[in-house]
């Protein structure tokens, strides 16, 4: 069990406001193997770390990420919604995160949130940053949007990709093979014929978002490369006991 890597979902999002530097630093302190985060693009073309299409839920502002400049986005309070003590937290840029990641041994899963807004140019912008900081070996790029993954693959033949799937699992393996990508899936996928095909094809599988150790009892963890979780400590303890 100890061979399974644990990725902190949006950083340590139960201890700190999600997708902030505080959450990422906390995940490092807690001993995560990696971090999962989400990226979108500002109106003036900067790649920023935020999950939602709008800033309403996780900041004191309003509007879409695509409709605001980086200066406007970073003027917002991205921490008070979680805890008043976190009021100084800002929406980070992907570049800020990569600069910090360089000083760690963490792996990074960057999810491109392009299902509801295309953010033209985001694929190239993300790849340029990864190449600038020479982090290709520690990063996997994921998306539910297969067109985004296709563009990434066209732009970079060697970048590590992951096709994100939810309920729709038909042809998941065929699509992953065509993209030369891994699969990021929910636990229920592991009970399907597609999962068996993925294992047979040697496709790396990472599960999201698993927060209870008991959820993993019914699957063969030898088939899983990593688990993305909100409950890092819970799974760490379970894996240690089970090793």
Nearest to 124 by CA among 33, 226, 47, 213: 47
Q: What is the mean pLDDT of the chain?
A: 96
| Phi/psi of residue 64, nearest 5 degrees | -85, 155
Q: Is the pLDDT of residue 154 over 50?
A: yes
Indicate the Cα dihedral angle 161, 166, 169, 173, nearest 10°: 10
Helix crossing, 21-29 with 94-101: angle to 10°? 20
Catalytic residues: 9, 51
Distance between CA 150 and CA 133 in Å, rounded? 23
Token code pair at residue 16: 């700190």
pLDDT value at position 167? 80
pLDDT at position 229 over 50: yes
Q: What is the enclosing helix (H) or strand (E) of 109?
A: strand 107-112
Name the band, by pLDDT with cuts 50, 70 and 90, for residue 239.
confident
pTM for the model stands at 0.97
Could you tell me whether strands 139-143 and 47-49 are parallel, antiparallel, or unpaired per DSSP bridges? unpaired
When pLDDT is averaged across residues 97-122 and rounded to a whole number, the result is 98
Please determine, for residue 170, whether its predicted confidence score (pLDDT) is greater than 90. no
The pLDDT confidence band at residue 2, using thresholds 50, 70 and 90, is low
Give the H or E element holding residue 226. strand 226-229
Rg (CA), the chain: 17
Q: Provide the pLDDT confidence category of residue 1 given band limits of 50, 70 and 90.
A: very low
Query: Does position 169 have pLDDT exceeding 90, yes or no?
Result: no
DSSP letter at 167 equals S
Dihedral angle sign, alpha carbons of residues 156, 45, 133, 161: negative
Beta bridge partners of 110: 37, 141
Output the pLDDT for position 171: 93
Backbone φ, ψ for residue 234 (5° rounding): -60, -50
């Amino acid at each position: 069990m100890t061979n399974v890597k644990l990725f902190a979902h949006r950083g340590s999002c139960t201890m700190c406001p999600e997708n902030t530097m505080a959450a990422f630093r906390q995940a490092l302190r807690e001993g995560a193997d990696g971090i999962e985060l989400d990226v979108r693009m500002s109106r003036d073309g900067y790649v920023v770390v935020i999950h939602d299409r709008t800033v309403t839920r996780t900041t004191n502002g309003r509007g879409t990420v695509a409709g605001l400049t980086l200066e406007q986005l970073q003027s917002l309070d991205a921490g008070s919604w979680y805890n008043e003590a976190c009021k100084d937290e800002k929406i980070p840029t992907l570049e800020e995160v990569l600069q910090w990641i360089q000083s760690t041994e963490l792996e990074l899963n960057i999810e491109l949130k392009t299902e509801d807004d295309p953010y033209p140019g985001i694929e190239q912008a993300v790849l340029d940053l990864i190449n600038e900081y020479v982090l290709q070996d520690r990063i996997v790029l994921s998306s539910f949007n297969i067109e985004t993954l296709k563009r990434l693959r066209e732009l970079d033949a060697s970048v590590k990709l992951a096709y994100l799937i939810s309920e729709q699992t038909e042809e998941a393996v065929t699509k992953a093979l065509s993209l030369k990508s891994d699969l990021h899936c929910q636990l229920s996928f592991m009970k399907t014929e597609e999962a068996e095909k993925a294992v047979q094809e040697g496709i790396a599988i990472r599960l999201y978002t698993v927060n209870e150790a008991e959820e993993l009892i019914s699957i063969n963890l030898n088939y899983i490369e990593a688990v993305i979780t909100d409950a890092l400590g819970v799974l760490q303890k379970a894996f240690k006991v089970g090793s």
